[in-house]
Structure 1
Amino acid sequence: MNLSVELAPFAYLTEKYKEELAILWIDAHPDIKTAELYPHYHAMVLATLLGEGDPNLASLVPRKVNPSNLLFAGINDEKEKAPSVYEKYKFPNVSSEEFASSSENVLAALRATGASRIAVHFDLDVLDLREFRSQGIAKPERYGEYVSKGLKRSSIQSVTRLIQDVSNEFDIVGLGITEHLPWDALTLSNMLNNLPLLKKH
């Protein structure tokens, strides 16, 4: 699922709960690019929620997300922190290594917002490719390239524990799970389509 689908539900939750809501963005990328930096909207959805970027899209968001109520977890590529929106607000980011064995840094940062309700964005590309490869960047012809980069990513266990720990202390009112792309299933489907008896006519 493309993460741009979160624009409407996260905008709704922000309007409904106002300052009671904080957003936990668990992702390898901050998704706050603007059209000048990147051509694809899926990397701009959070910028739109903040009121940045394209004014026509931002006008669709009745109440903008308070930058102080936004916490990143898992961003693992320094160049992803370079876009002007990220630099403008100096967003905190708890790395995958930091929450690998304990959720405390994330919980402390969420407490500091004063919010009681949390909307969680969970992009599957934060997961270790060797453990979970059904994600967009694991395209078969580039899979080896990405794995060889050795980027520090999160285990399924650590992300699951993190979200459970947040739920134990806060009221999670929204959970988006995005960027699922089952390459192996697509490859198998294509293969079966070329086998006798299974081939489509």
Structure 2
Amino acid sequence: MKFSEQLKSGVILDNPVFMQTIGLCPTLATTTSLQNAIGMGAAATVVLICSNIVISAMRRIIPDKIRIAAFITIIATFVTMIDLSMQAFLPSLASSLGLFLPLIVVNCIILGRAEAYASKNKVLPSALDGVVMGLGFTFALVLMGFFRELLGAGTILSGYVNGVNGIAVPFFHSNPMVMMILPAGGFLMMGFILAAIQKIMARKEDK
């Protein structure tokens, strides 16, 4: 499969959040702002790529009986590295993501790709799989985070990262729907996006 086709599959056709409906916990919990969404997506993507590479390289020497434990240990190593790096260089973002940053260890997208793909394929294809699935996950987070922050707070990229604050959007900023940045807002936005996707797919099938 060409990289362009693999990218289209990972981001759109086989998106882990919108099509497979996995990884919903961090998707709903960390998308209260676009900044959080980008941070979580980037962290998960780096972990996904690195763990896929290592697991693929070691696939023939990891005993089958302990493969899940080995996968989790490898994933946890990279999550710890990312967590400590963010605490050192992006403390405000790390604090905002809170517990969900170390919980990347048990993200079913990462463990699922390790079991279904990286453990059965060579290093380069596994790395590319990590890239496209990570981008698909990040795309879903960014889409959710953008609309939830815009509707719920009337801003884009709110919060300080390296001294840069967000942008207030006219009308939305003065008429915020606060519910959209509350837990219920995550479920509502997910429902709206899934409904829109199903509508688009239904139209394509009709054509």
For normalisation by structure 1, the TM-score amounts to: 0.26
More strand by share: 1
